[in-house]
Amino acid sequence: MTSFGDRLSDSWQRYGHLCVGIDPHNYLLDIWELEHSAAGAREFSLRVLDACVGVAGVIKPQVSFFERFGSAGFSALETLLARASDAEVLVIADAKRGDIGSTMDGYANAWLSPESALSSDALTVAPYLGVASLEGMVEIAEANERGLFVLGVTSNPEAVTIQSARLTDSAESVSAHVIRAVRELARADTSPDAVSSVGVVIGASTDIGAYGLSDADLQGMPILAPGFGAQGASVRDARSRFGKASSTLIVAQSRSILESGRDGVADAVRREANEVAEAFV
């Protein structure tokens, strides 16, 4: 086994920087002519995975759209995770877990332990109970050679008030404080020249400079950037937005691919993978 950062670097070399979101919204199940059920979510997700194999190296299932169907939904998700592992497609479980102490350790063991049916290559986590609350999860992730993506600057408008607020002792924005603290955690788990297994989530349409951040603050960490495609951010702008840090960017796309329907999803994945590849030349 190798670290998540190393596996991610290998995936970029083989398949490029596209990450395909798997979000079985009801309206997407309708487009795909599938039931609003765990069975519908299962068929939807496995068809998307099949379209990614050999084309895109990373998928990001949104856990809530499986969780809403209870135990049957989790069973569908478990099937997806197992099939992705067999196909050597990396999985970032988009669960955004955040808590403290033993509770956070429980989440870590659920999503990052190889013995768990929910075992994933990486997990999204929330830092707003304090970045230090993630230290135990970082240790568990490192021990299991898995990764974490910590919410840094999100693109939803409700987040701006909190994430752009300034600390009284330094005038640093809250999000900049979080990202720099996460970078310290990231440095602890990797050599200076390697890609860390601890990364951050930054919305693709975000102006990082408005939060007091530069590309130097992000270098060496994988950056999960949702919001390309249907949410308005252009893949062509990825390198200019993230500068030198774009070399570790994960270009996450969902609706622009999934709205193509069951008959068009394979072509859509190939199209977006080619567009991402061209943007990173």
Tokens for 25?
Answer: 């919204």
Tell me the two tokens of residue 274. 């080619």
- Residue 221 CA to residue 248 CA, distance in Å, equals 7
Tally the C-alpha atoms within 13 A of residue 83's C-alpha that lie toward its C-beta: 19
For residue 31, give both structure tokens.
Answer: 């487009």
Take residue 43 and report the two structure tokens written for it. 């068929």
Whether the CB-CB separation of 226 and 252 falls below 8 Å is answered with: yes
Place of tokens 């990373």: 58
Q: Let me know if 96 is a catalytic residue.
A: yes
- CB burial of 1-20 (b: ≥16 within 10 Å; e: otherwise) equals eebbbebbbebbeebbbbbb
d(CA 281, CA 234): 15
Tokens describing residue 6: 């190393």
Catalytic residue among 96, 180, 262, 271: 96
- List, by residue number, the catalytic residues: 96
